[in-house]
Amino acid sequence: MTTTFAKLSLSALALATAGVLAAGPAAAEGKKYKIYLSLSYSGNSWQSEAANIVKALAATAPYNETVELIEVISGTDPQAQISAYESMIEDGADGIITFPISSTALNRTIKRGCDEGVLFFTYDATVTEPCAYNVSYITSGFGENSAQALVNELGGKGKIFLSRGVPGNSVDKRHTDGAMHVFNQYPGIEVVAEYYSYWDDRTTQQETAKALAAHPDVDGIWAQAGEFGAIQALLDAGDRLVAMTGENSNGFRLALADPDMQAKGLKGVSAGSPPAQSGYAFKLMMEILEGKRELEPMNIEFPLPWVPAADVKICEGEKFENGCNAFPADRVPSSFVTQVLDPVLLPELSIDSALNGTPVEGATIQALPADVPAGANEPGINCQDCEPPADLYKLTKVEPTVQP
């Protein structure tokens, strides 16, 4: 037997439900588990890497003998992803691992799937339907911690840009809410431009260039993924860089550690979303389906990476070892999201797994740690009728060095 992997458009998925693909219950008696990988937005390196991780794991023994993985990309329209979910349920999915485009619009369909025995796992982005498992770093405080780091760098005053993600997505909302909670405490911080960059370097570069045309005297940029594009826009506009916070692109980390870039004014911290969340979610799902795990928390927190400029360390090999956290520029593209590897949760994977979706030769799936960290419940983000924690926007990675 070999791993079955397919990539379907919505039209092809409709044919699948009509019987072109065999449907059936959970794998048993030699049958394979039918797992759908459902992406909404898919237009950047982060999304490609997160999907490739799942593909590589599904092609790793013993999953290569027990999993049929089918990828569906539905785009940024919630109704399209709802239709995709409906087709997957009709096709007899055992599990759906998904990056959801909305935290609320998909709930009714997810609930229907759960009622019919489908296991739903989201990664990175979250939903508020109680029957779905959310695996995300969304509650670990990227927005507030990165905002405070930027405020510290600016001494509590200056003009800043907000480079956001995808409109309406729970990740973008939670990040921006956390950041604005901090920025609003500092009257000297002025948000002079706010734009959606869709977590993409090229789009970030274009949108930042527009903002620079109107505000060339900007002092800092708070960016989500795509942050290396903001550096490119600044360099295109002149020879001046500014304080920045961004996520985990390899180009950004190398720039933070580059003395030439520092001399131009670049300083900041690399934090943000690990694509490794998708692999963690997939392995948790499989352990449940195989009867190896009972999982109590529905909201599962992935830890927030935190790499200030002074802590960037270039890896000599293909994995995160000896405290390294970035790769040479000739090994991966600048847009490569470094936090794709995890020696504890995903020891089966390599750089090539993230770039190409290929398994590591001779690797086998390793069991996850027994303990699963629970994330905080946040209304409208990952739960419905719940109370937010009193310290919702507490700082966990950085302390204020300047008072409001």
- Residue 252's SS3 state is helix
Cβ-based neighbours of 296, under 8 Å, separated by 6 or more: none
The domain of 104 spans 4-137+274-304+339-356
Enumerate long-range contacts of 118-122, CB under 8 Å, 24 or more apart.
118/88, 118/89, 118/93, 118/94, 119/94, 119/95, 119/285, 119/288, 119/289, 120/95, 120/96, 121/95, 121/96, 121/97, 121/281, 121/282, 121/284, 121/285, 122/97, 122/98, 122/281
Does residue 256 sit in the same domain as residue 180? yes
8 A C-beta contact, residue 351 and residue 331: yes
8 A C-beta contact, residue 45 and residue 35: no
DSSP H or E run through 267: strand 267-270
The pairing of beta strand 243-246 with beta strand 33-39: unpaired
* AA identity, residue 394: K
Does residue 76 sit in the same domain as residue 125? yes
Does residue 206 sit in the same domain as residue 289? no
Does residue 115 sit in the same domain as residue 171? no
8 A C-beta contact, residue 375 and residue 133: no
Does residue 90 sit in the same domain as residue 162? no
Domains contained in the chain, number: 2
Does residue 13 sit in the same domain as residue 77? yes
Among residues 296, 295, 332, 338, the alpha carbon closest in space to that of 320 is found at: 338
CATH number at residue 155: 3.40.50.2300
- Residue 164's SS3 state is strand
Considering the domain boundaries, does residue 315 fall inside one?
A: no
Considering the domain boundaries, does residue 316 fall inside one?
A: no
Q: Tell me the helices (H) and strands (E) count for the chain, helix number first.
A: 13, 13
8 A C-beta contact, residue 57 and residue 85: no
Tokens, residue 46: 């982060």
Tokens, residue 376: 């905080």
**What string of DSSP letters covers 346-360?**
BTT--HHHHHH-PPP
Angle at 146 between CA 300 and CA 75, to 5 degrees: 60
Does residue 69 sit in the same domain as residue 83? yes
**What string of DSSP letters covers 15-61?**
HIIIIIS---SS--TTPPEEEEEEES---SHHHHHHHHHHHHHHTSB
Does residue 128 sit in the same domain as residue 157? no
Per-residue pLDDT of the chain (404 residues; tens, 9 = 90+): 344 555 554 444 443 433 333 333 445 567 899 999 999 877 788 999 999 999 999 999 999 999 999 999 998 899 999 999 999 999 999 999 999 999 999 999 999 999 999 999 999 999 999 999 999 999 899 999 999 999 999 999 999 999 999 998 889 999 999 999 999 999 999 999 999 999 999 999 999 999 999 999 999 999 999 999 999 999 999 989 999 999 999 999 999 999 999 999 999 999 989 999 999 999 999 999 999 999 999 999 999 999 999 999 999 988 888 889 999 999 999 999 999 888 899 999 999 999 999 999 999 999 999 999 999 999 999 998 898 889 999 999 999 999 88
- Return d(Cα 201, Cα 199) in angstroms, integer: 7
CB atoms within 10 A of CB 14: 17
Does residue 289 sit in the same domain as residue 255? no
Largest CA distance in the chain: 66
Considering the domain boundaries, does residue 403 fall inside one?
A: no
